[in-house]
Structure 1
Amino acid sequence: MKAALGGWPPAVLDPAGPYAEPITRLAWALLLGGTAVLLIVLAALAVALWGKPALRKRLGGDRTIWIGGVVFPGVVLTALLVWGLWLTGSLQATAARAGEMRVRVTGEMWWWRVTYLGERGETVIRDANELHVPVGQPVLLELESADVLHSFWVPRLAGKMDMIPGRRNLLRIRAEQPGTYGGQCAEYCGGAHALMGFVVVAHTPESFARWRAERLAPPPPVSGRGPELFLASGCAGCHAIRGTPANGTAGPDLTHVGARRSLGAGILPNNRGTLAGWIADSQTIKPGNRMPNYKQFSPDDLNALAAYMESLK
């Protein structure tokens, strides 16, 4: 189902930004080093089992044990530790720099609340399950959890960062090329953990400016059967739609739900049919999520609601 997300599956050894490159170099070093150690162990095992008696005796001597079992791993592991700390030390994010874009991402069971912040930390734009950034500019992410332990991971843009209840962790990302980069919760957080994906969409500066202007523009007035059903059925108790009486905060903000690439945190493509299916039977599609099924709607009601959601661009 993750095919609904662009950039999926995420390529873990193909960095697309400066905050992912050091981690990729370290991963390759560990992979190659581990392979070399495995080959040495297999060679020693072969000598021990089938080698000539003189060679086996030499392999089991005190000198070989001290060099191969104590000195060599001690030197290699110490060097690897120092190099790894030096390599990744610059990745530790600090407080926001002047003029830097800030986004607060909150992990919830099992979706992502995305809040774009202003210079004073005020909420500017609310979204869910996808993050939009300008190419070539660092973005500071403030990572939080609303319930259990989650972990934010976009392999091509940065290493994973845990999202811990009651704590705010910082992570910087920067995309060097426009595109869509897949991500995933990397810490088991319950039954639907594997269905908790998201994307980072990197725009050219001009494209990002247009996207931001569209999100800040007042939503057009709407009327008809769909909006009436949305308010009358209790949807507004959990969801917000800017410019309407709907101001719920328990679920994702739906002001621009029709413009999102996927539904259910990456598990379905976003179109009228999948919107209707999600409204009617979300528990079958994503068992355990916090949205109840709405099987009481007639086909005409479902179509009207889905058409309304699809129109919210």
Structure 2
Amino acid sequence: MKYLYLVIFFSLCVSNQTEAQVPRKIFVEHFTNTLCSFCASRNPGFYNNLNNQNDVVHLSIHSGTPYTQCFLYQQNASSSDARRFYYGITGTPALVLNGFAIPAATNYNQTSLFTPFQSQTSPISIRVEQQKYGSDSIRVRVVVKTEAMHSLGTEQLWVGLAEDTVFYAGPNGETEHYDVYRVNLGFVPINIPLAVGDSLVYSYTAFSNTNWDFNRIFAFAMVQNTSNQSVTQSESTSPSTNNLTVNSQKLESPLNRVLIYPNPTTNALNVRLENDLETSVVLYNSIGQVVQQLKFKESGELFLGDLAKGIYSIRLSNRKGIITRSVVLK
């Protein structure tokens, strides 16, 4: 009987070690505007508060309200609008922490702003890898891994690029703008694996923009609940990160050898595989809506001429795996 107790105790210890939830980072969406005088007066105190916090992923999203003339908004208008509309933001400055809108009257200087979101855990982890190629392109890979048992349903994965500091003299007097949201790489629904240890892998490629300081660009990723907008997990890199495990057998998938061209495109988009497996293709817009889908073997073609110009996410899946890439429609 003592031996049986020892076996049970050992099994419970192993289970707890292998199925432990992990710390949940705080994902901050900070809506601001370079013509907003209230932003200029409230942002410094918020940044002082932010700099004293740990395990936070911060994004400045320059909003088209109250002023569409905001220079940084105009450089990423459609993607910034998508986040503003998602939460129903009507003014600036505004804060959304882990998917929950903070009342406008809240004192952004107080450390208690972050208290409700600290010491939380999540059943999933996110690893973000990036590799910069010279000064003109970046490759990003996101690994979403199940760390503990869960009952999560369909979630949204959002991946993008931001610039850690933009030096620009705004009309409101602000001259430095931090973690500026620059481009959406993908916003797609995902089903988190149930088995502990299983992962989903997504790959993206993006090209530099003349408005960016490419040396200051970093990647971020977050997974968000589709029903209540709460953020399940988030992660980011630093501008100097170059940790993409190109030769990793664990992450490599036959679907990574797909050819999608031309990209950017003005109309038709061709997809070609190295095998003849039936493959599903779904094209999403910047707010995660399905705009086209089809199934094919070996090769397929999508016609995008009727869609609005912008950045789309294309998701390919078959029994060999799933990948997501960014597509630019000019």
Structure holding more helix per residue: 1
RCO higher in 1 or 2 (8 Å CA, sep ≥ 6)? 1
Superposed pair shares fold, TM > 0.5: no
Structure holding more strand per residue: 2
Larger radius of gyration: 1
The alignment's TM-score, normalised by the length of structure 2, stands at: 0.27
